[in-house]
Structures are given as structure tokens and as C-alpha cells.
Structure 1
Amino acid sequence: MEYVLVLYIEQALKKGVVQTMEMGLAEMGRVLRQRVLLIVLVTLLAVGLAGAGSFLVLEPEYEATTTLLVQSKQTEKGIAYNDLLTDQKLVTTYGEIFQSRMIAEAVIERLGLDLTEQELLENVRVRSSSESLLTAVTVTDHDPKQAVTIANAMAAVFMENLGRIMQVDNVSILDTAKLTSDVLEPVRPKPYLNMAVALVLGAMAGAGLALLLAFLNNTVQTEAEAEQLLQLPALGAIPFFEQKGSSGYRVVVRQDPRSAVAEAFRTLRTNIQYDEAGKHVKVLIVTSTLAGEGKSMVLANLAVTMAQAGKRVLLIDGDLRKPTLHHVFHLGGQIGLTEVLCEGVAPEEVILPSAAGPDVIPAGAIPANPSELLGSPKLRGLLSDLRIRYDLVLIDSPPLLPVTDGQVLSTLCDGVLFVVRSGEVARDQLQQAKGLLERVGAQVIGAVLNGKQRKRSEPAYSYYAAPEGDPHD
């Protein structure tokens, strides 16, 4: 069994199912802050269940205690030391007799209880000590009066039968039975104590669950993780934003230029321009590991920011399976790249200017053989011509794992930009995608984290959204 467990853990670590267990205090704090809502919900659930159970489910229990004194009869010579030793030994014996079926049967018969001997004895607790001559008998019951009645009955039955059992009469009742509490208050449950304990345990359980989920989370969450897995620089991190609005796709750098998202795209533009690998890139493809990581919207917004910086930018929709760019820029797109490669249509006929700044070559009709078209000499020649006419050519590529198109395109370009959706792509999938590019010798310049959730500790971006001349700037 131990061998199987060790083998399972080793396999899980190899597959990346569990993150490293060497999580520092700072990282643990970050995880707990990110999942504070989960911790609060677990804590409230624990307190609620404890309160509901204490007030509504558990019946109150009351305790009544009677005390018996074991002592030798005084003689003219007084009480001898040996008599005291004998009485102390008898205390333990008497405690066992109290918990015998004989006493329980007699009490049940006397009081007419609807209980079995075992059920009665489960509610009886006898405390005695070899260093004392006292024996305390405590009875627990849901009815406080019945607890007192049973405790007194047990003491009476015990004394009535003791002489017959052991032929001794050195026991007397020191205290008759009474409730443990002077007021009519149950000893169990204690709702507020239970809820206080549940509060502590719930918070601990919530924190533990948050850390466990972090350990089991196999997706890329941060720029640092993307850098570590790809062994490449993270050139930017785009905060989460709604990609579609009431009028269609949102080119946020144009529609909301003073937002935090627009500023993140400008930062990405700057990092690409000043990156050592990005300086010499004229043709750049933007791709991702899986579908749904937002590569097309990253590409569109990046192209607009490049155009806003005064560059001549051309966008090519190289996703001949699920083209998007003609929708993003509200272009016709009836003819495009497919017609240039298949039918010999001149590039000038398919290059469409967009209101946002960059020119666009739509994908055109969806062909039957996309990967063969993208690897054709015609596309290589087209790109050679476009390098001369534009400062930067950006190509939207299909995701790498589902199809081979991205690998083919990467061989025709100067660089590849990886879009990594935070919390979407698994670590092993990202490394697998990078491996596909390495096999064809593609030059990956870096990664951009898309859909990043802003931490509370990070500064707010109200400065960028403030209107011009705002006195609070």
C-alpha cells in the first residue's frame, strides 16, 4: 500500500498535478488573500452548522450527581489505619458495582423506565479515587427531574443490595442527587462554545482548503509561472476585460484608451519594441496553446497600439479555420488570404484599411487544406513583399495543440508571441506547445499573460481613467 501511494505521488508530480510543496510564507499569504472569500464561506458554514445543530437538532442534557462516603465504623479503639486502607480499596470495587447490570435492572424496575440496562448504564458515570473515600455517581438525562430521580434511585438500590453482596455496611450517602448546575441549564450542548470552536476550526479548514486548491491547481496563474515554464520573458500582463460589448468585439485601446487594460497593451508594445529579440522582428505571429485564450483580441489591441505609435502595421488573419479579425474590425472579409494563395488575387485587392489604424488582410473563404496553404511558397513570397511595405506585420495564428497551422506559420516569421490565459492552460500543455515550436526552430520572443486578476495589493488605475485636468491627478 505504501509503495502504491509513493508511486502515485511521483506520477502526480511528473504530470504537474501538484505544485511544489515548498511554498513560502509570502506565497501562502498570497493564496490566502486570493481565496479569502472561500475561507469566509467555509467559516460561516461551520459556525452555521454548529449553531443549527446546537439549537435545533441536539436535545439538551442535564446532569445530577449524588455522593457516597465509604467509612469504617468507629470502635472504642477508633479507626485503625488498616481499616482506612481497606475502605480505600473498596471505593474502586463499589464503583464497578454501581455500573453492574444488577443495579441497572433494579433501578429500571423501581422507576418503571423504558430503557434497557445498557442504555441506562451509558448515561451513568462513576468517579472514585483510591486516595479518597468518596464515590460520585452522575446521571445524564434529557429530563432534569428524571436525572435526579435516577441518581437517587441508584444510590438507594446500591445501598440496599450492598449488604447482600459483600456483607458490609460501611457506606452512607453524603450528598443526595441534585442538578450539576444551580440554574436549570443543560450541560450539553453549549451552543455558544460550540459556535466559537466551529469559528476557529472553520477558519482553519477554509485556509487549509484554499492551500490545497492552490497545490492542486495545475494551470498557469502568473507571469512568473509563465516565465519559469517557457524559460522566456513575460513581456506583459493584460488585466481581464470583456471582449464583447453591445456592438460586437471591443478594441479596448481605441474605445477606452485611458483604462488600465489599454495601458497594459501600451506596456506590452513598449516591451516588445525594446526587447532584444523584438527589436529585429518585422513579421510576428501571435498564438496560444489552446483555443479560447484570447490571442485574437490581444493581437488586435497590440496592432492598434503599434499604429497609434506611428508605425505602419498590417494584420493578417492566418487562422483559416476560425477567422475572427474581420469581425473585430467590422470588415467585409468576403475575400482575403485564401484567395491570394489559391486564386492569385493581388494583395492590394484584399488589404482593407480599418478605422482603428492598422490595415487588415482577412482570412477569406475557409479552405479544405489550411496547413498546406500556410506552408506554401506563395505565402513566403507574400510576406517578403509585405516586409518592405510595412513596419510590422502581425499574423493571427491558430492555437498550437489542436492543429499544426501555428507550427507551419512560425517557420515563416521572425518571432512568435505566446498568449497565455491565466487560469486556463495547464503547465504541461504550455510546455508541450513550446516544444512544438522548438522542433521547427521557431524564434519565440516571449509571452503575454492574458486575463490577469488584479490583486488588492496592486495600485488602482484610477489615474489613467481620470479626465484631463482632474485636480486629484
Structure 2
Amino acid sequence: MVPDNNFVQDDVTTLEDYLAAIQNRKWVVLATALAFLGLAYWLTSSTQDTYTAIGEIEVGLSPVNSTNQNLQAGNLELERSRLIGNTISNEVAQNLRAQGYTVRAADLRRGIDVSFVPQSQRLDLSYSDIDAVFAADAVNTFINTYVDTRQTEAEEWYDVRIAALEEQIATAVATQKELEQERAVQVAIRSRTGATAIEVTQAQDEISAIQTDINALGSEIRTANTELNRQQLARRSLGSAASVLLAADVPTSPDGIPRIFILAGALIAGLLFGTAAAFLIERLDTTARDESDVALALGARVLASVPAFPLGNRSGTSSAIMLSEDRKPRLAISREAFRRLRSSIQFASASSGAEVFVFTSAFPGEGKSVAAANLALALAQSGKHVALVSADMRRPTLERILGVPNHEGLSDFLGGRSEMELKSIEGVENLWFVPAGPPPGNPGELLGSVQFETLIKELRTMASYVLIDSPPVLSTADAATAAAAADGVVIVVDSRRTETDDLLKVRDELERAGSSIVGAVVNRTRARRGIFSRRDAYAYYETGQS
């Protein structure tokens, strides 16, 4: 865009700016979005989905590791270590192999994750694997193995003590019976006829000692029976030392963000990034794309905007679209653009009296010759007498567009080698054409000669309009020289590559030469069809008449 130093305005970015950037750089936005989408698709396709199964265990009361032989809650840190330890993992691996899985205990220990919630008796288990069914089976096997192991340990703890008490009681009872038999022998000795006083005394002492032992054994048996009853009662009332709070189900969705969400997010990110890139490119781009840019740079109004021709109409006689009867929408719109240009030239001529116009551009290849040729045809088709001069003797183009041989022409006349002979265009009335002729060695001097000025004056008397196709302004000085014989200059601007800085230079060059810029033709503009526009809207142009 061209800065205007005459006033200051806030450079505020609006939604319209972003929409314009998207419209002008839609391929940047689309390519960026597709790149993001493709990268996301490749990343999600190159990695295997993993599935995580989860389960929960409630750690109950157990006498194992109790300091007072009473039931107590488990130490979760200790239980977690036991759960992922060698003993249980080896048993889990064996159980899974029995189910048909090929797995090692070491792999299970690496895959299982066990955590616990403080101030609770809950262990949380999770296992991740590319096989969802195996992940669930692994968690459930760990849970069942741990629950069975802890329950078995608690029951065995009681069974061992009960067995020890029963053995203690049985031993005490047997010993008690032996002592009672021994006591009976001593009683018999004491009561035997003829026993001496010493024998009686000894037997009585033995009886007393044996009775003391029998009484001690009786007390031991009663204490052991009491403890046995207590242990048996505790064994019978033992609850679940561990239980399953949540069995693992087979996970149905892979871990992480679902792939469809990743792809959608990548597409949105690509669109946003592409929009930002398009906006940045748009801001950094100094190409004169819009009519306002061109008008501000040249200090003249835009006479018409001509859309880009189809590929088949961009060179040779096919670019003379005003002679074409092809009813394709794009050509119909382009023809209508040249009719608007014709109206603008006629209005400029009526308001200023201008009759001779030089067509030029900043650089070669911007479409000045095509614009001049089609405008001349449009004016002639409206009944106006037109003279078209091919003054770009360095690179003559009008001859190819109009299909006229370039054996002799303007260069011969200005060089004094022949008389000027005007050519007519087959099938076109009211149009005279001056070919460029063979390339001379001094085209600039010839355009500044009295002969050229005389030729233009003569053409003024013959035609209503004289259109001169001159070389680009920034390539040679020929355009400024030719403009001295004209009433005004029309600048053809390629909206896809002409920089605003170059237009400022064109303006300076022509102003220094004393030439007046009548207006500009914005060439090869982008089609701006809305999302909801209909193709049959172009039917108006297809049936339009000159």
C-alpha cells in the first residue's frame, strides 16, 4: 500500500483486513492448513495407539505383620511394593501364560503402575499396552493374584497359630496323663502294707511334686484352650484382607487425545497460522493490487480493471478478445471491462478535450499493448474513428495481436525511408493501424522528432482518438518522449507484480517530462467471487452488446 504523507490515521487492523488477506492469499492459507493436517496425520499414523486399563483394590484388615496379634490396616506403601514385587509378578506372568499370552514378569513389572490415595485403603492399578484386551487381563490378574495372596496369608496366619495351640494342648494333656499314672504308682507305694516310714515319706513327697506339675499343666491347658477359642473365633470372623473395588474393563478408546480431535485441531491451527502468514505477507507486500493503491500512487483515477484472460487468450491474435465471439464468462467479463475503459476514455476526452493517449507501463509484460489494442477495437466497434500507433519499436507487440505484418512502418517513416501507409484491420471498420516497422537503432530520437509530431497531428485530423503504444517508462525514456506529442498518458498496471514504489517512479518520470496522467488500467485483477455467488450471474455479460 502507498503511504499518504498528507494526513495521519490510526493503523488499526480490522476483521475486514484479515478477510481481505485470506481472499488474496487463500492458497497460502490452504497450503498451510493442509501442511498442518498432513503432519498431524503422519504423526498419528506413525505411532501405535496404546490402551490403558484401570482397576482398584481395597486393602482390608489383616493380622499379618501385626505387633500385637490384632487385625490392623495395611501399610499402603508396603503393599504397593509387594504388589509389584517379584513374587506376585511371577505368579501373574504364570497365570497370563496359562491364558495364552507370551509375557515375562519383568515386562509386567515395568508396565504395571500402582498408586494409592493417602488417608485411604485403596490401591489404584493401571496397565498400558497396544492390546486393549491384554491390558485389562493384566490388571485383573494382578488384582486377583494380590487379593488371593493377601487373603491366603491372613488365613494361614491364624491356621499356624491354631495348629500350634492345638499341638501345645495335646502335648500338655498327654504329659498330664503320664503324671497322673506316675502319681497313682506313688500312691500305691505309700499305701502298701509293710511300707517303712521312710518309703511312705518319700512317696508322699513324690505325690506332692507330681500334683504340682499336674496342676501347672492344667492351668496351661486352660490358658491354651482360651487362646485357641479366641484364635478360632477370629479365624471364623476374618473378613476380606483385600477385595476388588473395580475390575478392569477392556478400554474402548486409545490413550491421549482422540485422533479425530488431533486432526481437527491441526486443521484449525493450520488455518489460524495460514491466516496469520497471509496477513503478514499481505502487510509486507507492496504490490499495487487494489484500485485505491494504484490511484494513490499515480495521483490519477483508475479508468478500468481488467481481469486476467484465460490461458488460451494471453498471446497472439487470441488476446484481441474484442474480436472474439467466444461466450465464455471470463472473456465476457473482460470484454465488458474494455467497454468500461472505452466509456472512461470518452468521458475524459469530453471533459478535457484529450484525443491522443499514450499507453505505457512501468515494466514490460504488464499488458499495455493488449489493453491499447482492445480499447482501439472497442472504440472502433462503437463507431468512433481510431488510429492505433505501434510506437514500441524496441519490442513491437501490436502486430502479433492484430495479425498485421511488420515489414515496414513507423520506423521507416520517421527515418525518412518511406512514406507513411496506414494499415486496416480485416473485419474492423473505423480503425487505422501504424505498425512499428523494423527495429531502429535510435527509437528514442525518432519518437522525439518533428516527423513523429507531424504524424500525430495528421492522425488527429483523421481520427476521433489516437492511441499510442509506447515502451515501458522505467525501461527506457521513449515513453516520456512519445508522451510529449500526446494529450495524456494511460498507465497499465499488472496487479500481480507491479510495486507501488515503481508506480511512484513512473509518476515522477512523467511529471518531470511535463506529461499528464489521464488514468490507469489495473490489469490481470483477481476474480472476487463470493462463496454464495452463482455462476449464472455472468449470463448478463454473455449477452451484452457493444
TM-score bracket for this pair, using the shorter chain length: 0.7 to 0.9
Corresponding residue for 1:32? 22
Deviation at 1:153, TM superposition (A): 8.5
Establish whether residue 248 from structure 1 lines up as the match of residue 321 from structure 2. no
Establish whether residue 142 from structure 1 lines up as the match of residue 130 from structure 2. yes
Q: 1:286 to 1:245 in 2, by over 3 A?
A: closer
Corresponding residue for 1:301? 374
Deviation at 1:307, TM superposition (A): 2.2
Per-residue CA deviation, residues 329-349 of structure 1 (Å, 9 max, x unaligned), is: 2222211111112125333xx
Question: What amino acid sits opposite 1:251 in the alignment?
Answer: A
Establish whether residue 229 from structure 1 lines up as the match of residue 297 from structure 2. yes
Q: 1:96 to 1:422 in 2, by over 3 A?
A: farther
C-alpha distance in structure 1 between counterparts of 2:351 and 2:106, whole Å: 86
Q: 1:269 to 1:132 in 2, by over 3 A?
A: farther
Q: 1:331 to 1:196 in 2, by over 3 A?
A: closer
Q: Percent identity of the aligned residues?
A: 27
Per-residue CA deviation, residues 10-55 of structure 1 (Å, 9 max, x unaligned), is: xx999xxxxx97443234334435666765666566556655654x
Corresponding residue for 1:319? 392
Question: What amino acid sits opposite 1:377 in the alignment?
Answer: V
Question: What amino acid sits opposite 1:64 in the alignment?
Answer: A
Question: What amino acid sits opposite 1:425 in the alignment?
Answer: T
Establish whether residue 401 from structure 1 lines up as the match of residue 483 from structure 2. no
Deviation at 1:424, TM superposition (A): 2.2
C-alpha distance in structure 2 between counterparts of 1:320 and 1:172, whole Å: 105
Identify unmatched segments of 5+ residues in structure 2: 4-9, 94-101, 150-239
Corresponding residue for 2:422? 351
Establish whether residue 466 from structure 1 lines up as the match of residue 534 from structure 2. no
Establish whether residue 65 from structure 1 lines up as the match of residue 54 from structure 2. yes
C-alpha distance in structure 2 between counterparts of 1:281 and 1:225, whole Å: 25
C-alpha distance in structure 1 between counterparts of 2:51 and 2:450, whole Å: 91
Q: 1:126 to 1:240 in 2, by over 3 A?
A: same
Deviation at 1:272, TM superposition (A): 2.0
Corresponding residue for 1:414? 487
Aligned residue for 2:415, secondary structure, equals: helix
Establish whether residue 266 from structure 1 lines up as the match of residue 339 from structure 2. yes
- Asked if the contact 1:419/1:447 (under 8 Å) is kept, the reply is yes
Q: 1:34 to 1:219 in 2, by over 3 A?
A: closer
Aligned pair count reads 425
Larger radius of gyration between Structure 1 and Structure 2: 2
Deviation at 1:216, TM superposition (A): 4.5
TM-score under structure 2 length normalisation = 0.64
C-alpha distance in structure 1 between counterparts of 2:387 and 2:483, whole Å: 17
Per-residue CA deviation, residues 395-427 of structure 1 (Å, 9 max, x unaligned), is: 111122222322322233221101112212223
Deviation at 1:367, TM superposition (A): 1.1
Q: 1:130 to 1:421 in 2, by over 3 A?
A: same
Per-residue CA deviation, residues 103-129 of structure 1 (Å, 9 max, x unaligned), is: 699969995978999x976x6655554
C-alpha distance in structure 1 between counterparts of 2:540 and 2:402, whole Å: 29
Deviation at 1:325, TM superposition (A): 1.6
C-alpha distance in structure 2 between counterparts of 1:40 and 1:254, whole Å: 38
Q: 1:189 to 1:145 in 2, by over 3 A?
A: same
Aligned residue for 1:461, secondary structure, equals: helix
Question: What amino acid sits opposite 1:308 in the alignment?
Answer: Q
- Asked if the contact 2:2/2:296 (under 8 Å) is kept, the reply is no
Corresponding residue for 1:342? 415
Question: What amino acid sits opposite 1:352 in the alignment?
Answer: K
- Asked if the contact 1:31/1:211 (under 8 Å) is kept, the reply is yes
CA RMSD, aligned part only?
4.6
Per-residue CA deviation, residues 306-340 of structure 1 (Å, 9 max, x unaligned), is: 22333322111111111012222222221111111
Corresponding residue for 1:441? 514
Corresponding residue for 1:219? 287
- Asked if the contact 1:227/1:233 (under 8 Å) is kept, the reply is yes
